[in-house]
């Protein structure tokens, strides 16, 4: 997790992230509220025995979305560290040259490094585990095409890491229009034995059935509504604590807007960890899952 110093509405991402609010705000107040929400989230996660590694924001680089690190890097259990090409120029500044050193200091091995950021020059983007929702057990990569998720890069990533691509288009209703969902992890999430998806966001029926068929291979699937999706009901993440117990992290907003059936479904697979991050959600347009970049690297 990255503790943000300069959190604010990012004018470069609001063009296609319809979850961000344009409501007038006081900058210093928003920065302080976001810091309080971040710090309380870290404490809440730690209270459940979940290991949290906090990187401090760099004071010399003003990055309003630094609180969402899962978009610019990912790791895997084979020791790969991957940097990703980002849609917004000011988000590209979030990529940290010191990350490998930070991970090493935290006791992890980086065996191989892949930087895909050069694709930005060609107008091709793939924003980490925002663009890719990964079934790491069955090696499937679910990806919703958008301005931030290029089909060419989905296919390249899957070739590089031997994943099966499951590609589709997702939409949400904004002012009586069907507009693209900006990130895949807004409409779906995958845990060890479960998956959650807003199936109605996939307008094409044949594609929708194909996605659901893939998800149902080895998992129980819960379908949520578009109103639940629009309140971050699918932007959730399964994690394990230091005793190997599974937890599912979601925001207070999501918890209040998913129905009782969805809550009961999730509780079958892990204890719910609820984060109060309403300011980060309103002005950043991302929720609990976006704030968490998992570290799967082997220990050194």
pTM recorded for the entire structure: 0.96
Residue 186 CB coordination number (10 Å): 30
- Pairwise CA distance, residues 82 & 153, whole Å: 13
Distant-in-sequence, close-in-space partners of 30: CB < 8 Å, separation ≥ 6: 7, 8, 9, 279, 283
By C-alpha distance, which of 101, 38, 100, 108 is closest to 66? 38
Chunk the chain into consecutive blocks of 10 residues (it has 300) and report each block's average pLDDT, rounded to whole numbers.
95 86 80 97 98 96 97 98 98 97 97 98 98 98 98 98 98 90 97 98 98 96 97 98 97 98 98 98 96 97
pLDDT (0 to 100) of residue 27: 78
Residues in the chain: 300
Can you say how many angstroms the Cα of residue 123 is from the centroid of all Cα atoms in its chain? 21
Encoded tokens for 199: 């199936």
pLDDT (0 to 100) of residue 174: 86
pLDDT (0 to 100) of residue 18: 79
* H-assigned helices in 66-136: 89-92, 99-105, 128-131
CATH topology of domain 2-291: 3.75.10
Distant-in-sequence, close-in-space partners of 110: CB < 8 Å, separation ≥ 6: 75, 79, 80, 81, 100, 103, 104, 297
């Amino acid at each position: 997790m990255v503790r943000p110093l300069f959190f604010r509405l990012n004018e470069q991402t609001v063009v296609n992230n319809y979850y961000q609010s344009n409501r007038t705000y006081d900058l210093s107040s928003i920065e302080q509220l976001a810091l309080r929400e971040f710090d309380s989230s870290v404490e809440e996660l730690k209270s459940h025995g979940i290991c949290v590694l906090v990187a401090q924001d760099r004071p010399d680089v003003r990055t309003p979305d630094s609180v969402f690190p899962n978009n610019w890097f990912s790791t895997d259990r084979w020791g790969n560290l991957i940097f990703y090409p980002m849609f917004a120029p000011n988000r590209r500044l979030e990529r940290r040259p010191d990350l490998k050193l930070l991970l090493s200091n935290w006791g992890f091995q980086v065996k191989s490094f892949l930087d895909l950021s050069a694709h930005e020059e060609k107008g091709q983007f793939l924003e980490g585990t925002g663009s890719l929702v990964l079934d790491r057990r069955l090696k499937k990569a679910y990806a919703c095409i958008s301005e931030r998720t290029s089909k060419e890069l989905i296919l390249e990533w899957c070739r590089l890491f031997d994943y099966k691509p499951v590609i589709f288009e997702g939409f949400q209703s904004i002012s009586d229009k069907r507009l693209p969902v900006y990130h895949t992890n807004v409409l779906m999430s995958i845990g060890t034995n479960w998956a959650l998806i807003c199936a109605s966001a996939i307008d094409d029926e044949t594609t929708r059935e194909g996605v659901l068929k893939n998800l149902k291979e080895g998992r129980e699937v819960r379908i949520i509504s578009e109103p639940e999706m629009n309140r971050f009901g699918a932007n959730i993440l399964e994690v394990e604590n230091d005793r190997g117990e599974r937890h599912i992290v979601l925001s207070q907003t999501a918890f209040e807007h998913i129905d009782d059936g969805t809550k009961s479904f999730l509780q079958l697979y892990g204890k719910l960890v609820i984060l109060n991050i309403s300011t980060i959600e309103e002005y950043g347009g991302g929720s609990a899952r976006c704030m968490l970049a998992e570290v799967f690297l082997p220990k050194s």
